Structure 1
């Protein structure tokens, strides 16, 4: 008897993968007719679930006994029928009842049934997701500790019921307390004494903690805790100033800085500490005079932070490069108002900066010469291949590029000549 050919099995698997890819692509298309949706839904349960979540299938299209998981998906999306919930609450499969327990707006009688389910995992899921506060509070007194823990983590469980669990000897709920925003300050203060830095860092970001605890956490010995505190939306500015001078800079604009008034911004921008001035420089809606003052800052890190700000003049951008060189090149290249000639000059800078090529390759103002320079960089090459300003001859040559991603981007580029597109189609 002949041995099976492994290549045939591999080809079959690949064919099945291609069919799956095609089905997934089709399910996401707009304008599918009812017959097309029905044909796709009939393929398998997974496809039917996807169609239900996307919105192609409605309650009228689904038989819950034939496609139970598609019906559950509709219930989860709030587009199912109440009688389906009652049907699934009595389903012999714990997996079905478990999925039902996480669905929103379940009928009260279904919630009652699920809360008494013989499978504790079903009850735990209900305790975590129910939006009925009285039921969530009742589940917080459930005899099983996992159910009580889930109820404590539910946003719908009233704060007094969660606070009562603080003395539960079977539970350790400090992570839950650190995340909830509606608990008493005394409970937050107890959580701040947790020896685990991760708990304290989570608490530091919690918008429910008050100013006294914010100042306590600002003195935490762990950098991660203080860095998390900087993300607090109501952190006092003097606390942020202290954090900025003791920690490394943050990659994103801090919430309190984003909400700062013009006078507060001006005060921070006048700080003798570059780290504080950087906090302001990360905003992208600064008054012109404040923006330009920061653009001329003596510290390269401040200039790098403000360089992508819209509205900076060509002369100002070039002055940044002249004063700070490679330290600000990539940030200047990211400025939305950078001209094509400036971008070309940045790609020719010596010594070169690799990040510049990525920024230029995706910049809408980049022209042919700058984009050609970007093709020489491995990471920027696919980005440049997708740019519509790339010369047609270069685009055509990239279709056979050794980098498959660059070739793919070139093929999808709208600037590719129509005759070349026609030749590509069988």
Structure 2
């Protein structure tokens, strides 16, 4: 086949507008790049994907596993693949059913179990994986937005910092549990709690001037902190607070102009690191 012919085949294989019959023909190409393009094309029919799921090339099978058009029979077949990346892709595919995920949840590779833990909405699977011996898997459970509150509360007591951080970041973490995470002995957990969008706006504003730098930084990254709040915090008596505010990319230019002449070198230095600092102000900074 000429280079031009190969290019045409690839373009057709990659085009969602290509007819399914033509994609089926292209799936038999000797060129693995063409077969991979067919495997990841959302217009490829399940029958062709089932054939490609047995392809010798791992990139082809990986593309099938990631394809949202792959049906349960295709993913069930790939759940027995020998390649870990393929198994992770199956676990991450929203079409994967509970039976397939249950099989993958017992795989020896923690990456596979973590992928299941992070994406499944099945409470029984989550409960089982919460007892996994690998902290990375348990942390993935803790990060799952479908995690029932009782299980989330239980994992908040984990001895593993990574698990508690994931709990504090979870979109289901709120109210008294979120407040409790602020008092965690590891500042990274408190920072994650302060950054959680479920934290009440008034509480976030108060935390933005917390004595602990990690809590301050977490609060200042919280989407509930508005430009108005930042402008007010830019006038805080504590130079450490002003410095943290100065580096915030959402800080209004008017507040930047005030901080550009701050008496504290640290404040001016942090302002110089702000990616949105206008050039004219940057040129006047004494750092």
Given the two structures, how large is their TM-score scaled by the length of structure 2? 0.70
Q: After superposition, where does 1:255-270 map in structure 2 within 5 Å?
A: 257-258=196-197, 260-266=199-205, 268=207
Contact 2:88 2:115 in 1 (8 A): no
Count of residue pairs brought into register by the alignment: 277
Contact 2:79 2:103 in 1 (8 A): no
Provide the C-alpha distance between the structure 1 equivalents of 2:281 and 2:108, rounded to a whole number of angstroms: 62
Contact 1:201 1:225 in 2 (8 A): yes
Provide the C-alpha distance between the structure 1 equivalents of 2:164 and 2:87, rounded to a whole number of angstroms: 28
Q: After superposition, where does 1:187-226 map in structure 2 within 5 Å?
A: 187-226=125-164
Provide the C-alpha distance between the structure 2 equivalents of 1:242 and 1:257, rounded to a whole number of angstroms: 13
Give 2:252's aligned residue: 310
Structure 1 residues 189 and 272, CA gap change in structure 2 (3 angstroms): farther
Give 2:23's aligned residue: 85
| Unaligned 5+ runs, structure 2 | none
Give 1:157's aligned residue: 95
Structure 1 residues 186 and 365, CA gap change in structure 2 (3 angstroms): same
Q: After superposition, where does 1:16-415 map in structure 2 within 5 Å?
A: 66-68=5-7, 71-93=9-31, 96-115=34-53, 117=54, 119=56, 121=58, 124-125=61-62, 127-132=64-69, 135-141=71-77, 144-146=80-82, 149=87, 152-165=90-103, 173-180=112-119, 182-236=120-174, 238-245=176-183, 246-248=185-187, 257-258=196-197, 260-266=199-205, 268=207, 275-283=214-222, 285-286=225-226, 288=228, 290-291=229-230, 294-297=233-236, 299-307=238-246, 308=248, 309-310=251-252, 313=255, 317=259, 321-322=262-263, 325-333=264-272, 363-366=278-281, 370=284
| Unaligned 5+ runs, structure 1 | 1-43, 46-62, 336-358, 375-426
Structure 1 residues 243 and 126, CA gap change in structure 2 (3 angstroms): same
Q: Deviations over 1:220-265 (max 9, x none)?
A: 3333333344432332254444444433459x99796446554443
Contact 2:260 2:268 in 1 (8 A): no
Contact 2:67 2:93 in 1 (8 A): no
Structure 1 residues 301 and 100, CA gap change in structure 2 (3 angstroms): same
Give 1:383's aligned residue: none
Provide the C-alpha distance between the structure 2 equivalents of 1:87 and 1:192, rounded to a whole number of angstroms: 45
Provide the C-alpha distance between the structure 1 equivalents of 2:278 and 2:209, rounded to a whole number of angstroms: 32
Provide the C-alpha distance between the structure 2 equivalents of 1:278 and 1:170, rounded to a whole number of angstroms: 38
Q: Deviations over 1:355-406 (max 9, x none)?
A: xxxx79x6322476x48x89xxxxxxxxxxxxxxxxxxxxxxxxxxxxxxxx
Report the alpha carbon displacement of residue 109 of structure 1 after superposing the two structures with TM.
Answer: 4.4
Provide the C-alpha distance between the structure 2 equivalents of 1:367 and 1:169, rounded to a whole number of angstroms: 54
Provide the C-alpha distance between the structure 1 equivalents of 2:282 and 2:36, rounded to a whole number of angstroms: 57
Structure 1 residues 175 and 167, CA gap change in structure 2 (3 angstroms): closer
Given the two structures, how large is their TM-score scaled by the length of structure 1? 0.51
Structure 1 residues 194 and 143, CA gap change in structure 2 (3 angstroms): closer
Provide the C-alpha distance between the structure 1 equivalents of 2:203 and 2:169, rounded to a whole number of angstroms: 17
> Which protein, 1 or 2, shows the higher relative CO under an 8 Å CA cutoff with sep ≥ 6?
2
Provide the C-alpha distance between the structure 1 equivalents of 2:257 and 2:37, rounded to a whole number of angstroms: 61
Report the alpha carbon displacement of residue 194 of structure 1 after superposing the two structures with TM.
Answer: 2.4
Provide the C-alpha distance between the structure 2 equivalents of 1:255 and 1:157, rounded to a whole number of angstroms: 34
Secondary structure at the residue paired with 1:175? helix
